[in-house]
């Protein structure tokens, strides 16, 4: 089968995309490719100077506009401020790519709101962000939400009795797995709720296999192995770009690389674990995430 590459991305002229964590790695390459195809791209990043530098590098001579909006997913105040700013300044949003993430900090850390860092950043921050932007997303026909997950969801387990790792000994790998399983449970639950509400918004997930980025900064063995074995970021961004732009994507689809173990390769539709499709867990996680973040998803309750 023919490889899906950046050349296959349809024109994005007239579309507005928000990409979280767009100053580095997969988010940077996702934003760059969308801008090169003519989208207006908003880089939603926590560090303004890194984001401005990324915008300068991305801004194509003849492509769409590239702007920066401040977003720290580890602070619900920052998420709300970002949503307020976008709701004031943007007519509609065609695409939100929930890409930003952290992986395996050396010990248990917390966000500004006291959530365990990986659950708080990777899942809860994005859960609140999408709630805050959903009205703008729903104004656009064919709009999409793409959530970047990971093969690490396979060893994730949602432990409702200790979501924040306060009672148990902290295990950074299991905690990362929990946050990435939460990404997929959220994707599928949002897709179901939007469909029930009669919305045309598509919700899909992606994962970049193994891609050499800053994500591995806290795991030295991954760093040197990644430099040798992992894909480069432009290729790692392709599953997200496929989910975000390919015409045949359906709500609930999940894309990753087609090579062995989904570690490398070119985008194809992939399967996630039965645990990621557990509707009872997804509904409970939805309710708990609303309670923790104050998100309302008023039109989808
Ligand atoms: N690379 C892989 O092999 C791999 C595999 C599976 C899944 N993923 C997923 O791919 C996504 C992108 O990661 P990457 O590999 O491109 O890593 P990366 O280069 O480290 O990029 C992560 C981005 O997220 C941002 N970020 C972190 N915490 C944030 C916060 N609190 N608020 C806002 N932005 C925040 C980072 O900002 P700073 O630059 O300011 O830190 C950075 O822009 C993540 O969701 C990750 O879990 C990656």
| Residue 261 Cα to ligand 1 middle (Å) | 21
Active site residue 176: yes
pLDDT of residue 236 exceeding 80, the answer is yes
Q: In the chain, what are the domain boundaries?
A: 10-295
10-295 in CATH: which number? 3.40.50.720
Cβ of residue 101 lying under 6 Å from some atom of ligand 1: yes
Determine the residue of 18, 22, 23, 25 to mutate for testing ligand 1's pocket, defined as the one with the most ligand atoms within 8 A of the Cβ atom: 25
Mean pLDDT for 275-283 is 98
Cβ of residue 150 lying under 6 Å from some atom of ligand 1: yes
CA 222/CA 237 separation, integer angstroms: 19
Cβ of residue 49 lying under 6 Å from some atom of ligand 1: no
pLDDT in tens, 94-118: 999 999 999 988 899 999 999 999 9
Mean pLDDT for 291-301 is 94
Cβ of residue 277 lying under 6 Å from some atom of ligand 1: no
Tell me the pLDDT band of 64, cut-offs 50, 70 and 90: low
Cβ of residue 156 lying under 6 Å from some atom of ligand 1: no
pLDDT of residue 184 exceeding 80, the answer is yes
Question: By mean pLDDT, which of 52-61, 167-176, 243-252 is the weakest?
Answer: 52-61
SS (H, E, C) the chain: CCCCCHHHCCCCCCCEEEEECCCCHHHHHHHHHHHHCCCEEEEEECCHHHHHHHHHHHCCCCCCCEEEEECCCCCHHHHHHHHHHHHHHCCCCCEEEECCCCCCCCCCCECCCCCEHHHHHHHHHHHHHHHHHHHHHHCCCCCEEEEECCHHHHHCCCCHHHCCCCCCCCCHHHHHHHHHHHHHHHHHHHHHHHHHCCCCCEEEEECCCCECCHHHHHCHHHHHHHHHHCECHHHHCHHHHHHHHCCCCCCCCEEEECCHHHCCCCEEECCCCHHHHCHHHHHHHHHHHHHHHCCCCHHHC
What confidence score (pLDDT) does residue 215 get?
82
Which residue's CA lies nearest to atom 36 of ligand 1? 21
Mean pLDDT for 223-237 is 85
Mean pLDDT for 52-66 is 85
Tell me the pLDDT band of 35, cut-offs 50, 70 and 90: very high
What confidence score (pLDDT) does residue 171 get?
95
Tell me the pLDDT band of 23, cut-offs 50, 70 and 90: very high
Q: What is the mean pLDDT of the chain?
A: 95
pLDDT of residue 63 exceeding 70, the answer is no
Write down the pTM of the prediction: 0.97
In the chain, the percentage of residues whose pLDDT exceeds 90 is 90
What confidence score (pLDDT) does residue 214 get?
87
Mean pLDDT for 62-87 is 93
Atom of ligand 1 nearest to the CA of 233: 16
Atom of ligand 1 nearest to the CA of 46: 33
């Amino acid at each position: 089968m023919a490889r899906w590459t950046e050349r296959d991305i349809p024109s994005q002229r007239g579309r507005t995309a928000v990409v979280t964590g767009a100053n580095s790695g997969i988010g940077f390459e996702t934003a760059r490719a969308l801008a090169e195809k003519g989208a207006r791209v908003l880089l939603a990043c926590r560090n303004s100077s890194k984001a401005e530098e990324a915008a300068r590098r991305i801004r194509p001579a003849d492509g769409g506009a590239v702007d920066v909006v401040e977003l720290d997913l580890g602070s619900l105040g920052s998420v709300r401020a970002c949503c307020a700013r976008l709701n004031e300044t943007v007519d509609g949003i065609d695409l939100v790519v929930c890409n930003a993430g952290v992986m395996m900090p050396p010990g248990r850390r917390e966000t500004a709101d006291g959530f365990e860092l990986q659950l708080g950043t990777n899942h809860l921050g994005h859960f609140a962000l999408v709630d805050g932007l959903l009205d703008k997303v729903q104004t656009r026909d064919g709009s999409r939400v793409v959530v970047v997950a990971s093969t690490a969801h396979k060893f994730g387990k949602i432990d409702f009795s200790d979501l924040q790792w306060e009672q148990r000994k902290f295990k950074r790998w299991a905690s990362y797995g929990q946050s990435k399983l939460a990404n997929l449970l959220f994707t599928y639950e949002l897709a179901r709720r939007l469909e029930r509400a009669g919305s045309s918004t598509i919700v899909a997930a992606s994962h970049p296999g193994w891609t050499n980025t800053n994500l591995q900064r806290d795991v030295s063995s991954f760093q040197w192995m990644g430099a040798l074995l992992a894909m480069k970021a432009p290729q790692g961004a392709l599953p997200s770009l496929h989910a975000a732009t390919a015409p045949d994507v359906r709500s609930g689809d999940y894309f990753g690389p087609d090579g062995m173990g989904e570690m490398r390769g070119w985008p194809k539709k992939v399967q996630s674990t039965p645990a990621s499709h557990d509707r009872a867990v997804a509904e409970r996680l939805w309710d708990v995430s609303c309670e923790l973040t104050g998100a309302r998803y008023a039109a989808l309750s």
